[in-house]
Amino acid sequence: MMQLFIPLNFLGFVYREIRGAFANIERMFALLDKTPLIQDASDAYDKPLTQGSVSFENVVFSYDSREILKGVSLTVEAGQKVAIVGDSGAGKSTLVKLLFRFYDVVGGRICIDGHDIRDVSQNTLRQAIAIVPQDTVLFNDTLIENIRYGRPSATDEEISAAIQMAHLSQFIESLPEGGATKVGERGLKLSGGEKQRVAIARAILKKSPILVFDEATSSLDSRSEQAILTALKEVAKGHTSLVIAHRLSTVIDADKIIVLSKGKVVEAGSHNELLAANGLYCKLWYAQQESADF
Ligand code: ATP
């Protein structure tokens, strides 16, 4: 019986792998067949959005029929650092998806430099925003090529400068083949913190006026988190930055903190103003302080 068990188990494994591969291929064809959800308007214009001011004006959004954002208004002046905080599921990431126009708003509008984002081409829109996501996708290529992806036309000098600003130099020097080390799927696996710094380097190269940072929910070790925050501070200079924050300690210095709850802005102000207001932010702040003490 045991003699049969191992080959049968192996056959079962091979069958599952093949079935999985076909399912992936089917999904890929289904994706290729799909017309993109968002299309440029016939009169969409290309106009570089260089200032980086952002406004959400009474934005309403639903996934299917579930209303997620219920009339959100907020403004970010060019060059400001604004943080969005709130409970899990409040709609923070949805705000960013709408800013990037992965979906269109159901009501209200979103403007960059006074232009409704539905009026400009998606190319114009995507050029205006650089995003540092929670989980960065790395290609099966060298580390340098993965960074260059931020702006393929970047020179070697610009890439070196971005690496320095993103606090990646020490890490790269520690690799056996330096920047030529293969990373990604079949290469070296990077930690969450290292991947976010690669995304920061890409964002630096992209030179967009707006930087969106989606803070990782999984906790990074404090050295890694500090390296990211220092890198971000440098990148944020001269840029508008929008930070989706899970750890409130990382956004104390924001010009404005927007508190979202169940799809509505319930409070907005600086860290000190919000603590003095003794509302939801204050509650979240003390809850996080307590859990940090343990
Ligand atoms: P977290 O802090 O946990 O990341 P969040 O505030 O960023 O949460 P969102 O990701 O914006 O919250 O999600 C808001 C709500 O929308 C949640 O209830 C979520 O389940 C729902 N949602 C998110 N994406 C989709 C989707 N693609 N389809 C349907 N519902 C979704």
**Residue 60, both tokens:** 């309403």
Spatial distance between the Cα atoms of 158 and 154, rounded to a whole number of angstroms: 6
Q: What is the pLDDT averaged over residues 255-263?
A: 96
**What's residue 230's pLDDT?**
81
For residue 95, the CA-to-ligand 1 centroid distance in Å is 10
Q: Which atom of ligand 1 is nearest to the CA of 260?
A: 6
Q: What is the pLDDT averaged over residues 85-113?
A: 95
Q: What is the pLDDT averaged over residues 238-248?
A: 90
**What's residue 57's pLDDT?**
98
For residue 68, the CA-to-ligand 1 centroid distance in Å is 8
For residue 44, the CA-to-ligand 1 centroid distance in Å is 29
Probe target for ligand 1 pocket from 64, 94, 284, with the most ligand atoms within 8 Å of CB: 94
Q: Is the pLDDT of residue 33 over 80?
A: no
Cβ atoms of 125 and 112 within 8 Å: the answer is yes
Positive or negative, the Cα torsion across 24, 30, 34, 37? negative
**What's residue 32's pLDDT?**
56
More confident call, 61 vs 232:
61
Q: What is the pLDDT averaged over residues 75-85?
A: 95
Beta pairing, strands 141-142 & 66-76: unpaired
**What's residue 285's pLDDT?**
93
Cβ atoms of 111 and 54 within 8 Å: the answer is yes
Q: Which atom of ligand 1 is nearest to the CA of 97?
A: 11
For residue 1, the CA-to-ligand 1 centroid distance in Å is 49
Q: Is the pLDDT of residue 227 over 70?
A: yes
Task: Give Cβ neighbours of residue 177 (< 8 Å, ≥ 6 apart).
Answer: none
Q: What is the pLDDT averaged over residues 155-181?
A: 92
Atom 4 of ligand 1, residue of closest alpha carbon = 88
Q: Is the pLDDT of residue 62 over 70?
A: yes
Q: What is the pLDDT averaged over residues 182-191?
A: 84
Query: Which residues' Cβ are closer than 6 Å to ligand 1?
Result: 63, 68, 86, 88-94
Q: Which atom of ligand 1 is nearest to the CA of 90?
A: 6
ipTM for the predicted complex comes to: 0.97
Q: Rounded mean pLDDT of the chain?
A: 86
Spell out a b/e string for 117-152, using b for 16 or more CB atoms within 10 Å of the CB, else e: bbbbebebbebbbbbbbbebebeeebbbbbbbbbbe
Task: Give Cβ neighbours of residue 261 (< 8 Å, ≥ 6 apart).
Answer: 86, 87, 90, 280
Atom 29 of ligand 1, residue of closest alpha carbon = 63
For residue 94, the CA-to-ligand 1 centroid distance in Å is 6
Q: What is the pLDDT averaged over residues 205-212?
A: 93
Atom 21 of ligand 1, residue of closest alpha carbon = 89
Q: What is the pLDDT averaged over residues 176-193?
A: 87
For residue 267, the CA-to-ligand 1 centroid distance in Å is 20
pTM of the model: 0.83
In which band, very low, low, confident or very high, does the pLDDT at 16 lie, cut at 50, 70 and 90?
Answer: low
DSSP label of 79: T
For the ranges 33-42, 54-63, 207-216, 241-250, which has the lowest average pLDDT? 33-42
**What's residue 210's pLDDT?**
96
